[in-house]
Structure 1
Amino acid sequence: MKICFNEATTMKKSTLELDLDLCNKYGYDLIEIRMDKLNSYLEKHSLDDLVNFFDNNQLKPYAFNALEFVTFRDMISYRKLKDDLVFLCEVGTKIKCKNIVVVPSFDVGYTKKQIKEETVRVLNDLADVAEKYNINLAFEFVGYPNCSVNTFEQAYEIVTAVNRTNVGIVLDCFHFHSMNSKIEELKKADPHKIFIFHIDDAEDLPVGALRDNNRLWPGDGVIDLDIILTTLKEIGYDEMASIELFRPEYWEWEPEKAIKIGKEKTETLIKKYFNVPQK
C-alpha cells in the first residue's frame, strides 16, 4: 500500500511547493493537492514547473481535494463549480492526477430520498465532464449530523446507484467512526469503488459530536483502525492510505515536523497489515 499526504495536514503554515519538497524528502509515494494551495502555487509558478517536479521526483499526484458542497446549488454557483471541475481536469490531465474529491452539501433540509436523487443527478452530471478527461470523482461523505450524506452506507448506496466506472467513494476513518458507519457494510463493499482511503484518528467524543479539530494522528485516538484496516485487507483493497488531519494544534507546527511525523505514524500502522513500498 502506498503512503499519501493530504495537504490539509499542513494547511496554515505551508505551501504546495514546500509540501512537495518535504513529502519527497520523507519518502511519501503520493500527494493529495489542495485546490487553494494549487491556486497560490500558480500565482508564482507555471503548470510546467509542477509537471517537471513530478517528472523528476519519486512523489506523484493522486488527487485534488476538493470540490465542496456540490449538491443543492443554485444555477450560478453550480456553473462556477463546473468551471472549477474543468480547471482541475485540465490540470490533472497535464500532471497525471486522476482523482478529484467531491463533497456533499450541509444543512439542506431535504429527505434522504430527495438527497439521494439530487446527489445521483449531480454526480452523473459532473462525471460526464470528468469522463472526457479520463478523470475520476471520489465522493466523500462527512460524518457530521448536518451533512446531507454522513455515513459510509448512505454514500455507498449513492455511488452504487450512479454505477459509473469513474465515480467511487472516499473512505475516511474519522468520518466512518464519527457517525457510527457499519463495518458490516464495508465488508460487503467492492474494493474497486474505494478510490481514496484517508487515515486518521479521533478524540473520544459521543456520536455526532466530533469535528475536524478533534482529529489525531493515527494510533493516538479511539477509532478502531484495526478492524477498518483488517476489513480493507480482507476485501482486497491495498491501493493507498492518505494522512489527512485538520487539527489546529498540528497546523501550528513547522511543516517539516508534521510531514515527518505523519509519515512515521502512518507507515508504522499500515505496515502491520500491508506491504509498503521500500525506498
Structure 2
Amino acid sequence: MKLCFNQGSSDHCKGHSMMADLEAAERYGFDYIDLRFDVLDDYLKGHTAEELAAWFGSHHLKPSSYSGLLFFNWKRTDEEKQKVFDELNRLIPIFNTIGLRTIAVIPSCDIKEHASIEEIKDDAVWMLNRMADLCEPHGISLALEFIGMGSFTINRFDTAYDIVTAVNRDSVGMAVDLFHFYAMASNPADVAACDGKKIINLHLNDAEGLPIGAPYLDDSKRLWPGDGCIDKKAVTDALKACGFDTDAIPAAVEVFRPEYYGLTVDENVKTAYEKTKAFVERYFS
C-alpha cells in the first residue's frame, strides 16, 4: 500500500510551506501528497502550476488529492451554487497541469434550517451530479468526505454512502477518515457491506478516548495513526472485507493536533511517515 502525506498535518509548523512539505515528504519516503487548499493558494501567489508540475515530474513524490473543496452542499440560492461551480472551474486547469485526479469535497456545517437527512441527501446528490459534469471530462473524481461532528450536514459513513450510491457515477466516490468515522460512531458493519470501489480516499489518524459526539471531540484531539482509542482492526478488517483497493488508493496521514504543529516540518513529516508505515504494516499487511 502506498503512503501519502496530507499537508494539514504540518500546516501550522514553523517555516511551513509547499516546498518544505514536498521536500520532506520526498526525503522520508512518502509516495504521494494531498495538497491542502490554503497551502496551494499561497504557493500560487508566487509560483505557477507549471513550476509545481515540473517539480513532481522530476521527483518520486506525486500529488494524490486536493484537500479540499469546502462546504459544497446546502446552498440555498443559485448564486451560492454558482460560487461552488466557479471554484471548481478555477481549480480544474491547475489540477490538469499538475496531474491531480481526486478532489475531497467537504459538506456544509451550521446550517440555519432544520433539514432532514433525506433533504440533505437529495440536495447533495444534485450538487455532486452538477460538479461531476464539470470534472468528468478532465478525468477528475470527487470524494465526498463525511465530517464526524454534529454541526456538519453529512457526518456519518452511512449517509455519505447512500449519497454516492444514489449519484451512481464512477467519478464520484467517498473519503473515509478514521477520526471522522470514530467521532460520530459510524459502524464498521456498514463498511464491510458496502461496495469498496466507492471508497476512493483514505485518511489515517487516531483519537483521544473522549465521548462520542462531544463538542470538544474535534480535530485538535486527533493523534498519529495507532496512538489512540479507535478500533483500528474493526475498521481495517471491514475495508478488506468490502474490497477496498489497497493497491490503487494510498493511505494518507491527516492530523491537526496543535502539539504536532510545535515540531519542525522535518520532524513532523518524519514522524508522520514512521507512524503511517507502522500502521499499514500492522493492519493492511
Task: Report the TM-score, using the length of structure 1 for normalisation.
Answer: 0.95
2:217 counterpart of 1:217: no
Give secondary structure in 2 for the equivalent of 1:101. strand
| Structure 2 residue runs without a partner (length 5+) | none
Q: CA deviation at 1:77?
A: 3.3
Which consecutive aligned stretches of 4+ in structure 1 deviate over 4 angstroms post-superposition? none
Distance of 1:160 and 1:242 partners within structure 2: 24
Q: CA deviation at 1:230?
A: 2.1
Distance of 2:284 and 2:227 partners within structure 1: 20
Note if contact 2:142-2:171 (Cα within 8 Å) is conserved in structure 1: yes
Q: Equivalent residues in 2 for 1:27-176 (5 A)?
A: 27-73=29-75, 74-108=77-111, 109-176=114-181
Q: When the two structures are aligned, how many residues end up with a matched partner? A: 275
Of the structure 1 ranges 244-253 and 262-271, higher mean CA displacement relative to structure 2 is found in: 244-253
Deviations 1:24-50 (A, max 9, x none): 001100000011111111112121111
Give secondary structure in 2 for the equivalent of 1:269. helix
Q: CA deviation at 1:106?
A: 1.1
Note if contact 2:232-2:283 (Cα within 8 Å) is conserved in structure 1: no
Give secondary structure in 1 for the equivalent of 2:12. coil
Distance of 1:29 and 1:217 partners within structure 2: 18
Give secondary structure in 2 for the equivalent of 1:132. helix
2:198 to 178, 193, 196: 193
Q: What value does the CA root-mean-square deviation take over the aligned residues?
A: 1.2
Deviations 1:3-58 (A, max 9, x none): 00100001113111110111000110000001111111111212111111111100
Q: CA deviation at 1:211?
A: 0.5
| Structure 1 residue runs without a partner (length 5+) | none
Identity score, percent: 38
Distance of 1:233 and 1:114 partners within structure 2: 32
Match of 2:280 in 1: 270
Match of 1:23 in 2: 25
Note if contact 1:141-1:170 (Cα within 8 Å) is conserved in structure 2: yes
2:254 to 219, 244, 269: 244
Q: CA deviation at 1:247?
A: 1.1
Note if contact 1:11-1:251 (Cα within 8 Å) is conserved in structure 2: yes
Match of 2:185 in 1: 180
Task: Report the TM-score, using the length of structure 2 for normalisation.
Answer: 0.93
